[in-house]
């Protein structure tokens, strides 16, 4: 047995440069990748606290999961109503990621939900019921409705909806792209109560020329410039009329917290989170694709065809990102768990989702993808709810393991091992999720 010099991750936390050099030998340029030779393997075993059981199946050059984890600011997150272990990626604007194990419940607790802001958080409304939303543009009757009127005039709906940032997984792209370096944790599934956007748009009456929505919120632009929007995205009319697209008024049975868009926000499930406007004040029905803040250039756009990673891409060679891609996460055990000595079999569980589509299969591996086992996958509770999955796996001896999960969507598209589909701003990075665990040697 390898004697454990340090804790599971301490070495990498303290001095990642030195740790990399130890494990992978000479570094080439700024790259972390190298080859695991005998000395590297011994160093890795020492670092992770046990023998790397399936080292023989480990792809050369793949950064071990124990070392690849994204980390936010090391300080505990101090924000009213929020869990302290959320990871702050950015302060101004506030961008905060959820460690995956906090996503374990089917409905994400409000305190565990990731936060994504492009601008400043607006001042809370003094009278939330009097907050008003204007529907104008290509409609027969422009409307201004208060939250109170939305509640009294339209039928309420409650749905479990997964909401994922378009940039979730950005940190896995090579070369790195601009923006928040999210791991897999820019996603949540709330139980949202509100009214269907469709019902509201029907009350206004769409003109035949209606093509797209344009969303506006009350959050000031980061610069303080009142002529600029922090974010103003939109969706095609068909998505706006889809019955799961809602103006949400409550989250998990409570008023929506200010940071999540109180008192009214859109939820356009399965699409990049940026289409789910917080602090909603206006929906402008457009006769063309909306051109607000975040709709043009490379923002929220994928390339029309594969490009050489790192190349410059023209707007004409891009398409607006619509459905989010397939992804699965392991919510239990947590990354970095030291299991009880003698553990030889464990239960894995988590969620999987695929934007507009559903998940057909989830597979798990303990040996770097050499062999796979099928997980049991539940049906979604409602359309756009994530699907819970579970699987038991064997761990043949003590040591370091990586638990890998990959999902396949209803069209047969499977998650890649590493983030493919590179695009200039790093959207839709969905490599498989990997969790490192340790089974210590018996006493």
Ligand X SMILES: Nc1nc2c(c(=O)[nH]1)N[C@H]1C(S)=C(S)[C@@H](COP(=O)(O)O)O[C@H]1N2
The correct pick among 2, 98, 110, 118 for binding ligand X (CB under 6 A) is: 118
Nearest-CA neighbor of 165 among 84, 90, 276?
276
Stretch that binds ligand X, among 110-118, 315-323, 336-344, 378-386 (CB under 6 A): 110-118
CA dist., res. 370 & res. 367, Å (int): 6
Q: d(Cα 414, Cα 360) in Å, to the nearest integer? A: 10
Residue 118 contact partner, candidates Mo ion, ligand X, none, CB within 5 to 8 A by sort of partner? ligand X
Interface pick for Mo ion out of 234, 257, 270, 273 (rule CB under 5 A): 273
Choice from 113, 133, 264, 354 touching ligand X (CB under 6 A): 113
Q: Helix crossing, 38-48 with 16-24: angle to 10°? A: 140
Query: Judged by CB, which is closer to Mo ion: 294, or 380?
Result: 294
Say how many residues touch ligand X, by CB under 6 A.
20
Pick one of 160, 250, 260, 406: the residue that binds ligand X (CB under 6 A).
260
The smaller minimum CB distance to ligand X, of residues 179 and 369, is found at 179
Residue (292 or 416) nearer to ligand X, CB: 292
Tokens of 19: 């740790």
In this structure, are residues 403 and 330 in contact, taking their beta carbons and an 8 Å threshold? yes
Q: How many CA atoms lie within 13 A of 138 on its CB side?
A: 16
Q: Which of 442, 365, 348, 363 is nearest to 397 (CA)?
A: 442
109-128 positions binding Mo ion, by CB under 5 A: 116
Helix (H, G, I), strand (E, B) or coil at 20: helix
Q: Which residue is nearest to Mo ion (CB)?
A: 165
Q: Using CB under 5 A, which of the segments 139-147, 151-159, 166-174, 319-327 binds Mo ion?
A: 166-174
CB-based contacts of 291, cutoff 8 Å, min separation 6: none
Q: 78: alpha, beta or left, given left = phi > 0 and alpha = psi -120 to 50?
A: beta
**If we measure between CA atoms, which residue out of 273, 272, 271, 267 comes closest to residue 247?**
267
Of 116 and 398, CB closest to Mo ion:
116
List 53, 165, 302, 361, residue binding ligand X (CB under 6 A): 165
Candidates 274, 298, 408, 415; binder of ligand X (CB under 6 A) is 274
Three-state DSSP state, 274? helix
* Binding track, positions 22-51, relative to ligand X; x by CB under 6 A: ------------------------------
When CB distances are held under 5 to 8 angstroms depending on the partner's kind, the choice from ligand X, Mo ion, none that residue 279 binds is: ligand X
Residues 6+ away with beta carbon under 8 Å from 223 = none
Parallel/antiparallel/unpaired status of strands 318-320 and 212-217: unpaired
10 Å CB burial of residue 351 (0-12, 13-18, 19+) is buried
Q: 171 contacts which partner out of ligand X, Mo ion, none, CB within 5 to 8 A by kind?
A: none
Report the residue from 24, 212, 279, 404 that binds ligand X according to the rule CB under 6 A. 279
Of 171, 274, 276, 358, the one binding Mo ion (CB under 5 A) is 274
Task: Tell me the closest approach of the beta carbon of residue 425 to Mo ion, in angstroms.
Answer: 11
CA 310 from chain centre, in angstroms, equals 23
Residues 208-267 that bind Mo ion (CB under 5 A): none
Query: 98, 213, 276, 303: which one contacts ligand X (CB under 6 A)?
Result: 276
Both structure tokens of 177: 């792209």
Assigned token pair, 166: 């378009």
Give the alpha-carbon dihedral of 387, 392, 395, 398, to 10 degrees. Answer: 80
Residue 147, interface with ligand X (CB under 6 A)?
Answer: no
Pick one of ligand X, Mo ion, none as the site partner of residue 260 (Cβ within 5 to 8 A by kind).
Answer: ligand X
Q: Residues in the site for ligand X, rule: CB under 6 A?
A: 113-119, 165, 217, 219, 230-231, 260-261, 273-274, 276-279
Q: Residues in the site for Mo ion, rule: CB under 5 A?
A: 116, 165-166, 273-274
């Amino acid at each position: 047995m390898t004697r454990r010099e340090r804790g599971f991750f301490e070495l990498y936390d303290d001095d990642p440069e030195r740790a990399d050099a130890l494990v992978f030998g000479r570094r080439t340029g700024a790259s972390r990748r190298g080859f695991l030779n005998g000395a590297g393997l011994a160093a890795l075993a020492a670092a992770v606290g046990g023998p790397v059981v399936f080292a023989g199946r480990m792809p050369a050059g793949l950064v071990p999961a124990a070392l690849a984890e994204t980390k936010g600011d090391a300080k505990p997150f101090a924000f009213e109503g929020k869990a302290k272990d959320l990871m702050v990626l950015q302060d101004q604007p506030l961008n905060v990621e959820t460690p995956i194990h906090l996503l374990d419940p089917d409905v994400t607790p409000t305190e565990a939900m990731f936060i994504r802001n492009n601008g400043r958080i607006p001042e809370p409304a003094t009278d939330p019921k009097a907050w008003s939303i204007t529907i104008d543009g290509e409609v027969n009757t422009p409307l201004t409705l208060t939250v109170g009127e939305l509640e009294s005039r339209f039928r309420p709906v409650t749905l479990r909806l997964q909401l994922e940032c378009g940039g979730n997984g950005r940190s896995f792209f090579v070369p790195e792209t601009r923006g928040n370096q999210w791991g897999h944790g820019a996603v949540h599934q709330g139980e949202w109560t509100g009214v269907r956007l469709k019902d509201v748009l029907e009350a206004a009456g769409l003109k035949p020329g209606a093509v797209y929505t344009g969303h506006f919120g009350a959050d000031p632009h980061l610069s303080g410039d009142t002529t600029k929007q922090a974010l103003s995205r939109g969706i095609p009319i068909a998505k706006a009329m889809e019955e799961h697209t809602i103006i949400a008024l409550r989250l998990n049975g409570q008023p929506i917290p200010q940071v999540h868009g109180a008192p009214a926000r859109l939820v356009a499930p399965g699409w990049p989170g940026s289409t789910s406007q917080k602090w909603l004040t206006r929906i402008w029905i457009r006769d063309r694709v909306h051109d607000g803040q975040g709709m043009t250039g490379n923002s929220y756009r994928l390339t029309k065809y594969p490009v050489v990673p790192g190349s410059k891409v023209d707007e004409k060679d891009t398409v607006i990102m619509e459905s989010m891609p397939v992804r699965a996460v392991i919510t239990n055990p947590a990354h970095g768990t030291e299991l009880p000595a003698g553990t030889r079999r464990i239960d894995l569980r988590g969620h999987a989702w695929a934007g507009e589509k559903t998940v057909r299969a989830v597979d798990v591996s303990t040996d770097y993808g050499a062999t796979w086992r099928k997980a049991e996958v539940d049906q979604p509770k409602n359309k756009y709810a994530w699907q819970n999955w579970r699987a038991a796996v064997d761990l043949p001896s003590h040591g370091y393991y990586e638990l890998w999960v990959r999902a396949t969507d209803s069209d047969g598209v499977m998650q890649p091992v590493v983030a493919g589909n590179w695009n200039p701003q790093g959207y839709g990075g969905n490599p498989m999720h990997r969790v490192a665990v340790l089974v210590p040697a018996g006493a």
